[in-house]
Amino acid sequence: MKLFLHELKAQQRLFWRNREAAFFSFLFPVLLLVLLGSVYGDEPIEGVTAATYLLVGLLGYGVAATAFASLAITLVVRREAGLLKRVRGTPLSPATYLGAVIASTVIVIALQVMAQLLLGRYLLDADWPSAPGSFAVALLFGAAAFAALGIAVTVFVRSAEGSSAVVNAIYLPMAFISGAFFSTREMPAFLEAISEVLPLTYLLRMIRATFIEGEGLSGSGSTLVVALWGLAGLAIAIRRFRWAPREGMGRA
Amino acid sequence: MTAIHVSGLRKSYGPREVLHGISFAVETGEVFALLGPNGAGKTTTVEILEGYRERDGGDVRVLGEDPERAGSSFRARIGIVLQSSAVYHLLTVREILELFAGYYPSPRQPDEVIELVGLRGSRDEHVRTLSGGQLRRLDLALALVGDPELIFLDEPTTGFDPAARRQAWDTIRGLRALGKSILLTTHYMEEAHRLADRLAILREGAIVATGSPHDLLADHVGVEIRFRRNGREVVIDTNEPTRVLHELTAEALAAGSELEGLEVHRRSLEDVYLELTREDEA
């Protein structure tokens, strides 16, 4: 436990010192809220104010951006630089290391969510979550599932240079199709069919249910789908995660 | 006590076998050099001993354990300098050493290790501002901070300028004086000669010679005699330089001529190494 906190502290320090990464994964979802919020106007969307609708979507987007995209890119870059290999050569256990990296991501998400809630409330006049406890659980659950998927996707990314391209090509379209930025009601049927499979669609439903409807999560089908995605990610991560960089040239 | 015992070690990448059953042992407290050209299998061997790679055959014991199955208590007893691997470049030298010190049950003081590798002046600088040579010293510091019994150094001085190389050699000698066992890979003959108690020369996945630098020279002793006769270069390789020289000079005196451009040259370990690792002969 002491070792976990030791590593967590280092991971937090590393995250906030890396200004570009901190900007894109922490500040970007917050900025999007402010920018889009000033564009969306007052027309209600799917029965709630535009501001609330937008806030809920961007909360989900923020979880995916930080837990999935930022985590995956960070791990690929560290792997290809040989940093993970170096860590693997110390007595620090892989579980402690990855656990601390994920916990560090969760801290970032928590701060991001708080910033979004406060800005949404006081700048855009959005609502507070109507079931705060279930809402927090939904986000934590989503963060865990997307972190597992983020670790899994590193298996399919071969180079540090390609990591942001591959990861962005996955999660940005996902955010659009899942309805993080606008309502999916007007979407063509084939996109809607795709959105019915994506994990973010279901995380957004979980967030809406707890934030807007004030429902709990027990017996929710959306929770089940997110859990299945998370477990699939975990299975791939456990079986295929690599610590060493891809074999370079000239290494004997 | 044997720090490392390797016997009949085999390893293939796909259909290509890169280690053809090599055997050697490193005694506790000894500096052992694995010497060979690029592609000979040095890094593969070392990475198997460190537990990074799985072998395809043979027996390997490192500090009494099988590195393939050994856990974190094994890794607490070894220190690794990889050939190339990054560190968190946004931490300072001191921060990263404190971070890594935390991974080990009984680490050395970070400041002491920083001093030891000669990075005191850069203690509070971010890793990204360090020069290549300083980064290599940081690699060494990170391998030492856990106070390991056995240290693996994979080409520790590649890319160093001569002064930095000498400094690194002093550090490695210092570790030896502390009783650490060291396995070093290098393609610099001079480095192996200066540092190693014993060495093995690896060529295309097989050990072609092993012993102390002194033994290797003795086994491959030879003196090269060169001169020109009728404008043509003559080279004689011999184990009996005294007799050969005597005959040559007697002949020349009798004929009243001069052995033009006469040179007598004792073979260096470098010559032995080059001969043993030459690609074109089996």
**Exposed (0-12), middle (13-18) or buried (19+): which is B251, by Cβ within 10 Å?**
exposed
Q: With bands split at pLDDT 50, 70 and 90, how would you rate the model's confidence at A145? A: very high
How many domains in chain A? 1
Domains: count for chain B: 1
pLDDT at position B278 over 80: no
**Residue located via tokens 């050493």:** B97
Q: Which residue has the higher pLDDT, B125 or A1?
A: B125
φ, ψ for residue B261 (rounded to 5)? 60, 35
pLDDT at B181 > cutoff 80: yes
For A166-188, give one letter per residue: b (16+ CB within 10 A) or e: bbeebbeebbbbbbbebebeebe
pLDDT, averaged across chain A: 89
Q: Which domain holds residue B259?
A: 222-266
- Count CB-CB contacts under 10 A for residue A165: 12
Question: Between A and B, how many residue pairs show a Cβ–Cβ distance under 8 A?
Answer: 76
- Confidence (pLDDT) at B277: 79
Residue A60 resides in a domain: yes
A35: contact with B, CB 8 A cutoff: no
Rounded (5°) CA angle B224-B230-B231:
70
* Residue A201 near residue A178 (C-beta atoms within 8 A): yes
Across the interface, whether the CB atoms of B18 and A3 are under 8 A apart is answered: no
Helix axes A28-40, A94-124, angle to 10 degrees: 30
Position A251 in a domain: no
What span, in angstroms and rounded, lies between the C-alpha atoms of A84 and B82?
12
Asked if A6 and B82 come within 8 Å (Cβ–Cβ), the reply is: no
Q: pLDDT tens for residues A49-76? A: 888 888 999 999 999 999 999 999 999 9
pLDDT of A250 higher than 50: no
Confidence of residue B280 (pLDDT cuts 50, 70, 90): low
Which of A3, A86, A250 has its CB closest to that of B102? A3
Which sign does the torsion angle of CA B44, B48, B50, B51 carry? positive
Q: Which residue has the higher pLDDT, B269 or B140?
A: B140
- Among A26-30, A204-208, B259-263, the minimum mean pLDDT is found in A26-30
Q: What is residue A105's predicted lDDT score, i.e. its pLDDT?
A: 93
Cα distance between the two ends of chain B: 35
Chain A contact present for B52, CB below 8 A: yes
A17 touches B: beta carbon within 8 Å: yes
Q: Do B103 and A91 touch (CB under 8 A)?
A: yes
| B282 band by pLDDT with thresholds 50, 70 and 90 | very low
Q: Which of A172-181, A226-235, B269-278 has the highest mean pLDDT?
A: A226-235
In a domain, A156, yes or no: yes
Is residue A249 over pLDDT 50? no
Mean predicted lDDT score pLDDT of chain B: 90
CB contact under 8 Å between B90 and A81, yes or no, is: no
Q: Please give the residue that has the higher pLDDT: either B282 or A204.
A: A204
Nearest C-alpha in A relative to B104: A91
In a domain, A212, yes or no: yes
Q: What is the pLDDT of residue A182?
A: 79
With contact defined as beta carbons under 8 Å apart, do A222 and A60 qualify? Answer: no
- Answer yes or no: is B232 within a domain: yes
Whether the per-residue pLDDT at A47 is higher than 50: the answer is: yes
Say if A247 falls within a structural domain: no
Q: How many of the other CB atoms lie within 10 Å of CB of A144?
A: 20
Taken as a whole, chain A contains a residue count of 252
B219 pLDDT band, cuts 50/70/90, is confident
Would you say residue A140 has pLDDT above 90? yes
pLDDT score recorded for residue B200? 94
Characterize the bridge pairing of strands B260-266 and B232-238: unpaired
Q: Which helix (H) or strand (E) holds B185?
A: strand B181-186
Res B218 pLDDT > 80:
no
First to last CA, chain A: 38
- Distance from the Cα of A94 to chain B's closest Cα (Å) equals 10
Domain containing A32 equals 2-240
Average confidence (pLDDT) over A8-31: 87
In terms of DSSP H, where are the helices of chain B?
A: 42-50, 72-75, 93-101, 110-116, 132-144, 162-177, 189-195, 213-219, 241-255, 269-276
Nearest to B77 by CA among A88, A91, A92: A91
Taking contacts as CB-CB distances below 8 angstroms, the residues of chain A near B73 are 91
CA distance A67 to A84: 19
- Using CA atoms of B155, B160, B161, B164 in order, give the dihedral in degrees to the nearest 10: -90
Tens digits of residue pLDDT in B68-88: 998 899 999 999 999 877 889
- The pairing of strands B57-62 and B181-186 is unpaired
Distance of CA B182 to the CA centre of its chain: 10
Contact check, Cβ <8 Å, A89/B50 = yes
Is B247 among the domain residues? yes
The span from the CA of B140 to the CA of B162, in Å, is 18
Q: Look up residue B173 and give its two tokens.
A: 């000698």
Which residue of chain A is at minimal alpha-carbon distance from B139? A86
User: A81 to chain B: nearest residue by CA?
Assistant: B86
Query: Is pLDDT of A120 > 50?
Result: yes
Report, as an integer, the average pLDDT of A167-180.
Answer: 89
pLDDT grade, residue A251 (50/70/90)?
very low
With respect to residue B234, please indicate whether it lies within any of the assigned structural domains: yes
